[in-house]
Amino acid sequence: MSSVVFKEVNKVFPGVDGHPGSHAVKNLNLSIAPGTLVTLLGPSGCGKTTTLRMLAGFETPTDGQIVMEGHDITTTPVNRRGIGMVFQSYALFPHMSVRENVAFGLKVLKLPQDEMDRRIAEILDLMQLSPFADRAPAQLSGGQQQRVALARAVVIAPKVLLFDEPLSNLDAQLRERMRDELRMLQTRLGITSLYVTHDQSEAMAISDRVVVMRNGVIEQDGSPTDIYARPRTAFVAEFMGKANILKARLLRVEGKQAHARIAGGDIVLPLEDVSPAPGDEIDCVIRPEQITLSADGALTAEIQRVVFQGGYAEYLVNLDGQRCSIVDYRQHSHGVRAVGEMLRFSFADAKPWPLAPQNPAL
Amino acid sequence: MAASTNIVVRSGITPLAYRVRSIMADPWLFGIFVLISLSVLIFAILPILSVLKLAILGQEGFDPAAIISNLSSSMVWRAFGNTLLLGATSAAIATLAGFALAFAVARTSMPGKRFVHAVALLPVISPPFVMALAILILFGRSGLITRELLGIRNSNIYGFHSLVLIQVLAFTPIAYLNISGMLQSLDSALEDAASSLGASQWTIFKRLTLPLTVPAILSSVLLVFVKSIEDFGNPMVIGGNYNTLAVEAYSQLIGYFNLEAGALLASLLLLPSLLAFMVHRYWVSRKSYVTVTGKPGVQKIRIVSPFVVWPLTVLCYGLVATIILFYATVVAVSFTKLPGIDWSFTIDHYIGVFSAGLRPLQNSLVLAGIATPITALLGMLIAYILTRRKFPGSSVLRWGTLLSFAAPGTILGIGYISVFNTAPLLLTGTAAIIIAAMVVKTLQVGIEAGSNQLRQIDKSIEEAASILGASNTRTFAQVTLPLLKPAFFTAFAYAFTRSLTTLSAVIFLVSANWSLITVTILNQVETLRLGLAAAYCVILIAVVLVVLGLMQFALGRVANRG
């Protein structure tokens, strides 16, 4: 049984003062298995935050049902849901110490004092916050504040834990560390979690399952590896990371495989969701890192732009009128190429993935 | 997206049902909301409506002839014209002076800014007619300057010119605070940008600073205008034959017992006041370019040219010197035997106050002391209800409190005596009616301060409390209210100062048992016991200063602890 189920949930924000309303979430169906972390991923305005806030109880669905552990909680008030939440701004109570922040939810539960003290000490210890227990939030670093927010949310032993872009206020290095800490805590406590972010690398690193949303609709739903390797649409392909979307001409179909050619390079496409015929042109995704630079490659193209990224160099080439990005992780040994040089490469190692025809409605 | 918004609600959570649920989620808060709304209805809306009704229907029923005869009286229109002329003149001059002060303090290298700032704020905390008292002593028939220095025998200081001077001195601080707030919140990077594009100081001022402060300038004009036409003490003392609506309404009511004429005059007073207020709220405040970020930008002083700084300095110090002269005069006179005749030193007036006349001061302190915490707490509660919760019918609360603030004290006072004269609301002559007037008249400032503060408090802090299981009532008490502390103290300070120094509304409400210090001072001035009046004024100002100082101290300690 799933911990959380959204059934046909819609959310319409009515227009105010002449502003048009918006249909933020459309016929959403989603279930979250117990103990797993599911991430809602998408650009701003895709409905991911609205979905999270409906589960929290800050928004009420216009239509549909939300079920948590078998109970319909669609209209249950926020404070009776037993959900924990970590906010983007942390939302620590600025007039309370770290300890008082953590104790707040326990006091509402009216736990006996010794039980309360024990749980506070435990979580502060776990989060390495014990030395700061009597400080005000303003006296803590960003990472420490983040940990207090997390401690405050999990100390009440919530049924579900919600994360609203919790790492977006941290700088890049700290963000990765907190991301790992967060995931470790979540797996250790086994709390069912819903996580919202617009950062695809964060989503892939932290999730059991990623749900990509766009314009209020789920675009794709699957494991991080699955979504990265087998995107259903160009939107998902590009949102999940750098993607070359190239037109391939189908040569012949053999069962679940198709042989095709892109600008003189031969590829083999798996046919699972699509069923094209020979002669068709089909969009397929080839990630930049799948293209092999080699002196005996079948393809050549002139470098039009070079972006040096430290760990690798990225070259942009024009492949029969199509933009194509190629990354070179070996630039430290043979040097970064210059604009105008010819690049030789092949699709020998590529795992191209065919895209379903674009839905014109989106 | 517009096309897709027409979805059919299938599973039956109607907006009404949701609203009922949201009310049931915190019955306490809703109960408080209903109680407050009812109080606002009774103590703010009802009195004003009753005055309007009196003006139109009279006590004996609708009588067009009586209204026409009242309206055709030249007295009414002269008072109306006088009031508007005085308001417009004071507003224009006070705003100019306020702008000069604010600009000099915020943008130039004028010396002694802290001093100028402190003196400029003095009129804010003093009773309305201290200035009138001072001008009477300085320039009156036996005035210190007119007679003693210049030997003028028949100087006439009563009338329009004196009123303008006094109101400008009294209301310039309002314009000053308003405009300097705006100047300080303008990002100085804008001026840097203009400068880097090659603009001269004059161009920057003309094309950037001035246009960006226009909302504050307009808002000052309107606020001073409202303050000026509402002013009762100064025109009463120094107006002479220059009658204004507030004074005329009072004399019709108290002098001739003509309730209808008083109500009519007060209603005429409400009109321009309400209009100015609406313009301010729905036009000027929407033109503001400043976004409140809650953190003041670093201001750079960029105007050091002596050709700008010195004229401004002379102007500012002239203003400051006049304010000091007026206050010093009042202090000096409180120690003078018989101003104009016997200038020898005495403490008789203070002995008089402390032996026989302490009662009004005690009354004022007790009533303001009761009204102030009520006002501050109510202000925070209403701000919270209006900005954070959506209860049905909250517009009554919003408009009621706004109306009570925009309505001149005169109409409120007359409204109170006409509404609370009969059972079941028989309050005339009690302390309660005065406290109610004090609360209603000062509530809006607390609401504004509270709302502004709330807008700067991240909403997710309260959401965090809710999701941790706290009810809305608990969230308000344990999270929101503590965070509103600065706004609470602003409301507290304003309510206390205004309640102690107010006159225009309470003059209709005082009784033998409950006389107030401001009314007592007015009586002393009218019977030309200027020394005694001055002594009362000095004590009143001292009390206000001490209380504000104590509050500052308390707030500082609270801040240090956190």
The rounded distance, in Å, linking the Cα atoms of B29 and B41 is 18
Decide if pLDDT at B459 tops 50.
yes
Of B2, B18, B458, the CB nearest to A89: B458
Residue B21 and residue A64: Cβ atoms within 8 Å? no
* Interface contact B463-A58, CB threshold 8 A: yes
**Spatial separation of the C-alpha atoms in residues B179 and B546, rounded to whole Å:** 27
Put simply, whether B558 touches A (Cβ < 8 Å) is no
- Tens digits of residue pLDDT in B41-98: 999 999 999 999 888 887 676 777 777 777 777 788 899 999 999 999 999 999 999 9
Q: How far apart are CA B101 and CA B119, in angstroms?
A: 11
Chain A interface, mutation test: which of B18, B459, B467, most A Cβ atoms within 10 Å? B467
Q: Which residue has the higher pLDDT, B154 or A250?
A: A250
| B25 near A CB under 8 A | yes
Confidence of residue B318 (pLDDT cuts 50, 70, 90): very high
Whether A79 sits inside 8 A of B469 (CB atoms) is yes
Secondary structure letter of residue B108 according to DSSP: B
Q: Quick check: B2 and A21 CB within 8 A? A: yes
- Report the pLDDT value the prediction gives residue A27, as an integer from 0 to 100: 94
- pLDDT score at B37: 93
Using a CB-CB cut-off of 8 Å, the residues of chain B touching A104 are 465, 468, 470, 478
Q: What's the whole-number mean pLDDT along residues B120-140? A: 84
Residue of B nearest to A163 (CA): B464
Percent of chain B with pLDDT over 90: 33
A92 and B461 in contact by Cβ < 8 A? yes
Assess whether pLDDT exceeds 70 at residue B23: no
The model's pLDDT over B206-249, given as tens digits with 9 standing for 90+, comes to: 888 888 888 889 989 999 999 999 999 899 988 888 989 999 99
Query: Which candidate in B14, B28, B468, B476 is best for mutational testing of the A interface (most A CBs within 10 A)?
Result: B468
Give B288 or A271, the one with higher predicted confidence: A271
Test mutation, A95, A110, A150, chain B, max B CBs within 10 A = A95
Residue A16, both tokens: 């105010």
User: How many CB pairs below 8 Å do chains A and B form together?
Assistant: 103
Write out pLDDT tens, residues A145-192.
Answer: 999 999 999 999 999 999 999 998 888 888 999 999 999 999 999 999
Range scoring the smallest mean pLDDT among A133-147, A347-361, B217-231:
A347-361
Short-list B410, B409, B159, CA closest to B261: B410
- What is chain A's mean pLDDT, rounded? 90
DSSP A274-320: ----TT-EEEEEE-GGGSEE-TT-SEEEEEEEEEE-SS-EEEEEEET
**Between B5, B11, B21, which is nearest A23 by CB?**
B5
Average pLDDT over residues A341-345: 92
Q: Stretch B334-346: mean pLDDT, rounded?
A: 81
Q: What whole-number distance in Å separates Cα of residue B64 and Cα of residue B50?
A: 18
Q: What residue ranges in A119-191 does DSSP mark as E strands?
A: 160-164
Assigned token pair, A298: 């079948």
- At B47 the pLDDT is 93
Is residue A192 a contact partner of residue A161, using CB atoms and an 8 Å limit? yes
Which has more confidence, A101 or B358? Answer: A101
Q: Chain A contact for B27, CB < 8 A?
A: no
For residue B460, give the nearest of A60, A91, A152 by CB distance.
A91
Identify whether the C-beta of residue A212 lies closer than 8 Å to the C-beta of residue A42.
yes
Q: Output the pLDDT for position B151.
A: 67
On chain A, the residues whose CB falls within 8 A of the CB of B5 are: 12, 14-15, 20-23
Looking at residue B557, its pLDDT comes to: 63
Instruction: Identify all chain B residues contacting A17, using CB atoms and an 8 Å cutoff.
Output: none
Q: Which residues of A touch B467 (CB under 8 A)?
A: 56-57, 78-79, 81, 83-85
Query: Token pair 């069912």 is at which residue?
Result: A192
Q: Give the whole-angstrom CA distance, residue B457 versus residue B436.
A: 30
Name the average pLDDT for chain B: 84
- Kindly report, residue by residue over A78-102, the tens digit of the pLDDT: 999 999 999 999 999 999 999 999 9
Task: Enumerate residues 6+ apart whose C-beta is below 8 A from B465.
Answer: A93, A104, B474, B475, B478, B479
- Using alpha carbons only, what angle is made at residue B327 by residues B326 and B329, rounded to the nearest 5 degrees? 65
User: Is the confidence at residue B440, as pLDDT, over 80?
Assistant: yes
The confidence score (pLDDT) of residue B2 equals 38
Note the pLDDT tens digit of each residue in B155-175.
678 889 889 999 999 999 989
pLDDT at B300: 62
pTM for the structure as a whole:
0.82
Joined together, the tokens standing for residue B58 give 């009279």
- Facing A56 at nearest CB: one of B461, B467, B479: B467
Min distance A1 CA to chain B CA atoms (Å): 23
Comparing C-alpha atoms, which of A276, A233, A243, A281 is closest to residue A261? A281
